[in-house]
Amino acid sequence: MAYVLISLGSNLGNRKRNIHGAFIELQKYLPKLYQSPLIETKAVLPWDSDPSWNLPYLNMICFGDTDLTINEVWEIIRSVELICGRKPRQKNAPRQIDIDFLSYDQLIIKDAQLDLMLPHPEINNRAFILRLASWIAPQLKLNKQSQTFIEKFREFENNFPLWMGILNITPDSFSDGGKYQNLSVIKKQIKHLADHGSHFIDIGAESTRPGAAKLDPENEWKRLEPALKAFKSISLDYDIFPGLSLDSYHPQVISNALPYGVQIINDVSGLSDESIVFDIIGTNIKYVLMHSLSIPADKEFILNESIDPIAYLYEWFSNKINRLIQLGLNHDQIIIDPGIGFGKSPKQSFEIISRIAELKELNCLLMVGHSRKSFLADVCGNDMNKRDIETVNISNKLIANGVDIVRIHNMKKHAEHLNWSLK
């Protein structure tokens, strides 16, 4: 059994449909493949290219195990390109589909007859490939001497994150409690988040604001199930849809939700119940380990102001990561989140944000959820529009410091300010 890493790109016609169609064709021969989120990149063109060729690409990579040989995989890739409409064109001209064979295990291949070189010679020069590869397999190395994908990606100066849109179906969340109670409104918001660039949509049914009442698993599931059914139904209308993240720390709820295609478990309790991970051991489902001192958050229960919050978090995460691996999780599955506003004063939250890059040394994917939180009140009060603007400003700082996943409420405002498109 060997692993394969393949990239798919399109900058002509219906880009999502082109990529989706190619992925489905590849899966016929490589059934264990799974896919990354989508990222848009500019076309890389010589200065004297036809201006009409300057069309942005949508990109995705896929990864999985296979019993097929290198030659067999290469033949499949070339045949799928033809099936999906690729036609002979000038070099660098727009194309419906472009499939690159990136890697086959840690083998080094240079075969002029096959016109094949592995690992792909441009893999370390293309930030989008490293971004997506560091999501799928952050600890993977192209060869025994190389850096991991996540280490290599973080060397790029202009990092870009994956975006997680928030959907709180709660009556009492701090910024949007009660807003998404009606199923038709929930469906509208799911589509809105999908259409404005979310790579993932994080659905939660229990408020964690200070003073919120705890929700038992049975009532949490009653709230969640209709939203998960809506998510799954809506996803069928899209060629490529955001991944599903579940904001829950109840093992029973997580077990119930997994058949709906959950890709991320967002545990805001900081592994308060170790059985929460049992159902995702041996899978590709990611687990967000968020630091928290209490659920719900308690403004009176915070880290001691005399300690270094980053040093404290570094030690806390190190211990928890080791425990998760002992339990059977793969290091690639673990995402760490410092838990802005959970057991931290506003001053500590701002310090953590300013020093967030220090947590990258833990060599895990790094997520931050700062959107609209109360620590922003000293800067912009309780006006949610002002908080959205400050959230965008902080998002930019987090991106500059290499945060991998940014969790936010207002995808549209971020899309407008950061100028992205996934259409």
Among the three residues 151, 177, 208, which one is the final residue of a domain in this structure? Answer: 151
User: Are 131 and 187 in a shared domain?
Assistant: no
114: CB partners within 8 A, 6+ apart:
71, 74
Q: What is the CATH number of the domain that holds 363?
A: 3.20.20.20
User: Are 114 and 179 in a shared domain?
Assistant: no
Cα torsion for 355, 360, 366, 371, to the nearest 10°?
Answer: 10
User: Are 128 and 98 in a shared domain?
Assistant: yes
**423: exposed, middle or buried (C-beta count within 10 Å: 0-12, 13-18, 19+)?**
exposed
User: Are 197 and 84 in a shared domain?
Assistant: no
Reading the chain (423 residues) residue by residue, the pLDDT tens digits are 999 999 999 999 999 999 999 999 999 999 999 999 998 888 888 888 899 999 999 999 999 999 999 999 999 999 999 999 888 878 889 999 999 999 999 899 999 988 999 999 999 888 899 999 999 999 998 877 678 999 999 988 777 899 999 999 987 545 554 566 688 899 999 999 999 989 999 999 987 666 667 788 999 999 999 999 999 999 998 888 999 999 999 999 999 999 999 999 999 999 999 999 999 999 999 999 999 986 666 677 789 999 999 999 999 999 999 999 999 999 999 999 999 988 889 899 999 999 999 999 999 999 999 998 888 887 777 777 788 889 999 999 999 999 999 999 999 888 888 765 444
Residue 135: the pLDDT is 95
User: Are 282 and 316 in a shared domain?
Assistant: yes
Q: Alpha carbon 69 to chain centroid distance?
A: 31
379 torsion bin: left (phi>0), alpha (psi -120 to 50), beta (else): alpha
The tally of domains found in the chain comes to 2
Instruction: Give the integer Cα–Cα distance in Å for 38 and 48.
Output: 29
Residue 260 lies in a domain: yes
Residue 308: the pLDDT is 97
Residue 239 lies in a domain: yes
User: Are 198 and 81 in a shared domain?
Assistant: no
User: Are 224 and 144 in a shared domain?
Assistant: no
User: Are 210 and 91 in a shared domain?
Assistant: no
> Residue 48 CB: number of other CB atoms within 10 A?
5
Residue 246 in tokens? 């579940």
Among the three residues 89, 123, 151, which one is the final residue of a domain in this structure? Answer: 151
Residue 40 lies in a domain: yes
Q: What is the CATH number of the domain that holds 27?
A: 3.30.70.560
Residue 180: the pLDDT is 61
User: Are 195 and 286 in a shared domain?
Assistant: yes
Residue 357 lies in a domain: yes
Instruction: Give the integer Cα–Cα distance in Å for 423 and 418.
Output: 15
User: Are 193 and 271 in a shared domain?
Assistant: yes
The boundaries of the domain holding residue 172 are: 162-418
Residue 72 lies in a domain: yes
User: Are 367 and 392 in a shared domain?
Assistant: yes
Residue 290 lies in a domain: yes
- ω into 51 cis (within 30 of 0): no
Instruction: Give the integer Cα–Cα distance in Å for 409 and 273.
Output: 27
Residue 88: the pLDDT is 80
Residue 84 lies in a domain: yes
Residue 217 lies in a domain: yes
Query: Distance between terminal CA atoms of the chain?
Result: 36
User: Are 233 and 354 in a shared domain?
Assistant: yes
Among the three residues 151, 175, 199, which one is the final residue of a domain in this structure? Answer: 151
Residue 421: the pLDDT is 47
Residue 275 in tokens? 């059985």
